[in-house]
Structure 1
């Protein structure tokens, strides 16, 4: 089978296709024939080994896990011992490792069955980005509230806007001009081109929740947008080349003022949450935005497109 791997950290050019034996599922695992894989910003960070701090956990000199890809949707083609909830032929979606491949072994507990008629490419957009969006909005009664999503044009942002609007929030979204019409169609009541209207020009003391995905706005500027008791959910943050967003997250602990506080978002992909997102997708409440579909034979081009930045929604690799 074909799998896309890299032997050293670097750009998308370091990720190449390899022919390897098809793996067999172990206990509690299934083998999935891949139909779709969406690319996440996390794939790019792991590919580049950036910020360098990630190399402490994923390999100092070279990636410990050489294959890229986290999300996947596909069809179960083999089942390991002890798996009762899934069977050969089931269409599934979930998260794993080295998913940019023709076949992937995944823990059965990490997968959710897809309803008939759901496009696997749409479903593949949900596990990582969707779980992140859910955590960013968690713990808030959004009905009648005002939510500002900073950096709303990507995979996480387009889902966050839809989920917040579906829960009754008045959503403001900052993005590039190319994404404004898309986000308005997804439920944003106000869209703002960040190149012409900075966050500092948005209303002060106005929002109940700010979801910061871009990670570039100074913390005091985000805090000033909040009403008393409001929260800034910190999803993104590029930061420096060594520590990445860590210094900014540390500063956020001490940046609380007059009940306005910050909450770092550390999302893990949970199959129960993915199942809820799939239900919203099936009912037409959630619509993933796919800017580009790329064949598996050209997966490095998909990584390169996301690496360049400014993708509206997601790039999905399809088999």
Structure 2
């Protein structure tokens, strides 16, 4: 193995046009870590927010004036090529899937705690698997928080922002749990979302949600983040749950002000509004891999980019309105 690798880096906060392909040292795995030779990474809206240094609230953790972790890509499928001391669960030669907490997927190699990856079962497409940890995991945990599939009655669920990375998973997972799924998405994506299992689609930016009767849903998964909280409360039953599942928001505080308003509105009787803080849950990835192997759902991949065009993939996310996921084939 050589001592250096190629990686797409943003040395300063900025736009996708400022990201450059550099030659950097290959990381050395520490205790409990493994070194992956990257195969595929999936990109997320969070990658672009961190690339831009927004919201400002996160900069104490990720670098006040410049990125502390300049390589984007938080989803990973790669081959274990080296293991540090005290690694359990994976071995050199395993192809694994998992989440990179600080990014690094847009490098040819990345060091990651072994606890954050798991072997990829044979027969599963590596590109599809790479879409699961962040977007798939967020959708799964949002439905758990909304108790979808746990009620003793038939359920009706509304997914707002249904055609993006998280939304395309949320529609499929809600349908798998037996819910009747309604979905809000752009007009151009209606056929796509209906094909994922939505029985009714609408565009809430053009068709007012006020036309839907009050108490019509048992749960609302809000990924778009642009509907008034009281309007969301009106849509659900008294024991219903609204889950806010977006990290977007203002330039300084991000989603925090909306989360605080949601907490205040949830005091007392009536529908609760829960703000999702998705975490790394290996058991969720395991379950998604089982369902994927059985073809119970299919990740929506808008486009696959070669490694040399990773900056174009970031620019596409920066542009917005991606249908499903973007992946980058690293090696």
TM-score category of the 2 structures, normalised to the smaller one? over 0.9
Q: Does 1:296 align with 2:307?
A: yes
Q: Secondary structure at the match of 2:25?
A: coil
Q: Which residue of 2 aligns with 1:69?
A: 73
Q: 1: CA distance between counterparts of 2:284 and 2:249?
A: 29
Q: Does 1:55 align with 2:59?
A: yes
Task: State which of 269, 284, 307 in structure 2 corresponds to 1:273.
Answer: 284
Q: 2: CA distance between counterparts of 1:239 and 1:24?
A: 36
TM-score, reference length from structure 1: 0.96
Q: Which residue of 2 aligns with 1:21?
A: 25
Q: 2: CA distance between counterparts of 1:244 and 1:83?
A: 36
Q: 2: CA distance between counterparts of 1:148 and 1:168?
A: 13
Task: State which of 89, 92, 107 in structure 2 corresponds to 1:88.
Answer: 92
Q: Structure 2 vs 1, CA of residues 194 and 55 (structure 1 numbering), >3 Å: closer, same or farther?
A: same
Query: Which range moved further: 247-256 or 287-296?
Result: 247-256
Conserved? CA contact 1:30–1:106, under 8 Å:
yes
Q: Which residue of 2 aligns with 1:3?
A: 7
Q: Which residue of 1 aligns with 2:46?
A: 42
* CA-CA distance at 1:141 after TM superposition: 4.5
RMSD between aligned alpha carbons? 1.4
Task: State which of 187, 191, 200 in structure 2 corresponds to 1:181.
Answer: 191
Q: Secondary structure at the match of 1:240?
A: coil
Query: Which range moved further: 226-235 or 56-65?
Result: 56-65
Conserved? CA contact 2:88–2:114, under 8 Å:
no
Conserved? CA contact 2:148–2:174, under 8 Å:
no
Conserved? CA contact 1:151–1:214, under 8 Å:
yes
Q: Which residue of 2 aligns with 1:160?
A: 170
Deviations 1:200-233 (A, max 9, x none): 3333210000000000101011111011111110
Q: Structure 2 vs 1, CA of residues 57 and 200 (structure 1 numbering), >3 Å: closer, same or farther?
A: farther
Q: 1: CA distance between counterparts of 2:272 and 2:56?
A: 29
Conserved? CA contact 1:219–1:252, under 8 Å:
yes
* CA-CA distance at 1:145 after TM superposition: 0.4
TM-score, reference length from structure 2: 0.93
Q: Which residue of 2 aligns with 1:254?
A: 264
Structure 2: which 5+ residue stretches go unaligned? none
1:300-319 → structure 2 map (5 Å cutoff): 300-319=311-330
* CA-CA distance at 1:237 after TM superposition: 5.5
Q: Which runs of 4+ in 1 moved over 3 A?
A: none
Conserved? CA contact 2:90–2:118, under 8 Å:
no
Conserved? CA contact 2:148–2:219, under 8 Å:
no
Conserved? CA contact 2:78–2:97, under 8 Å:
yes
Conserved? CA contact 1:216–1:237, under 8 Å:
no
Deviations 1:228-258 (A, max 9, x none): 1111101116332211211111111121364
Deviations 1:22-52 (A, max 9, x none): 2232221111111111011110110111122
* CA-CA distance at 1:198 after TM superposition: 2.8
Q: Which residue of 2 aligns with 1:172?
A: 182
1:98-117 → structure 2 map (5 Å cutoff): 98-117=104-123
* CA-CA distance at 1:193 after TM superposition: 2.3
Deviations 1:157-177 (A, max 9, x none): 111111110000000110112
